[in-house]
Amino acid sequence: MIVLLAVIWTVFHFWSGQWTGEGFVLTAANMSNLSRQVAVVALLSVAMTLVIASNNIDLSVGSALGMFGAVTAALITQQSFNPFLAVVIVLGVGLAIGALHGTLIHYINIPSFVVTLGGLIAYRGVTQWVARESIPMRVSWIRALAAHAMPHWLAYALGGVAIVALLFSLVNKRRSQQRAGLHSLPLGIDILKVLIFSGIIAAILIILSLHEGVPIEFVILIGAAVVMSFVARNTRFGRYVYAVGGNKQAALYSGVPIARTIILTFGLMGLFAATAGILSMSELAAASPDMGDLKELEAIAACVIGGASLSGGSGVIGMSVLGALVMASIKNGMSMVGIAAQMQKVILGSVLVIAVGLDQWSRRTKK
């Protein structure tokens, strides 16, 4: 995926510069814009990965995103709520609505496709009713989430923490494998992995710092992805999600709490949709009736491009974020070279189908 990203950026960079080498893609300003453009879809794909891994789907997140953004703006601007309180209420409602989806899916046995399709229609109606006219957002700290960047020193400090965390994770993993009597990769390979990821972190920080710095919403995305990756890989809940998605009957016989797992998975999806809605409203500095339109399909596509199987049981959060970045990079590059918006949709749809086809071919080859 990283090599694919490099190819996409390089091709569109030279194409946008009419093959003279003076393109517009591989510039600090465009990379900063790209980090903002990918944040909302990638944030949705983080939670969507777990939903897909549990052998479910959530079609409502785009409409829910718009609804939560519109409700937040209405509470603050029209109802004079304290902004912090309004954000907390919306996040709590997002968690509750997601948990309601999970409850309907598990206890009433309604397919997730049907439950969330109903949500897609209903939440879009709520959005259009609440934000019949665009609701402006004038709270400075909410607008700063999308408009401002972190101080350089803080960004570099967080980057250093991330590199130290990588080293700690490597050491802890190797010790755990040794205690369990399992075979570990050669130390040189693990060190090379850490060096590559450390180099990527340093490159991102340096490039973004050349423009305005690391956008706050991009930091929120990376923080959420890291935390959820840890949850998925190192907690009982994360293992339960993949067990339920891989074989629900076997998970039931193994004592996995299926009800709690499904409800919490969809609750997290609702929470992330609410967070994405607030970030979208921050980007627009207003709530509009079409906010979040088709974002659910982009999030699902990002997961599929990242290798998540729609049949459940597999999916890596980091790869889904990279999948979202691939899609955003293609859209960004096509805009830079002047491809019409209608043709962009055709190309993105084709990319999704090709990605799924390659994934299925790869799985058959491995078998």
DSSP β-ladder status, 135-136 and 286-287: antiparallel
Alpha-carbon span 296 to 65, nearest angstrom:
9
Both structure tokens of 11: 């091709």
Q: How long is the chain? A: 367
Q: How far is CA 224 from CA 31, 39, 76, 97, 345, in A?
A: 20, 11, 25, 20, 28
* pLDDT for the residue 21: 64
DSSP states along 51-67: HHHTT-----HHHHHHH
pTM of the model: 0.91
pLDDT at 164 over 80: yes
Q: pLDDT digits over 25-63, tens only?
A: 888 888 989 999 999 999 999 999 999 999 999 999 999
Over residues 338-342, mean pLDDT: 85
pLDDT at 4 over 70: yes
Q: Write down the mean pLDDT value for the chain.
A: 89
Both structure tokens of 93: 């409602």
Q: pLDDT digits over 236-260, tens only?
A: 999 999 999 999 999 999 999 999 9
Q: pLDDT digits over 305-325, tens only?
A: 888 888 888 889 999 999 999
Residue 116 has a CB neighbour count (10 Å cut-off) of: 27
Alpha-carbon span 276 to 251, nearest angstrom:
32
Expressed in angstroms, the distance from the first to the final Cα of the chain is 22
In this prediction, what percent of the chain has a pLDDT beyond 70? 98
Q: Which of 33-47, 125-139, 170-184 has the lowest mean pLDDT?
A: 170-184
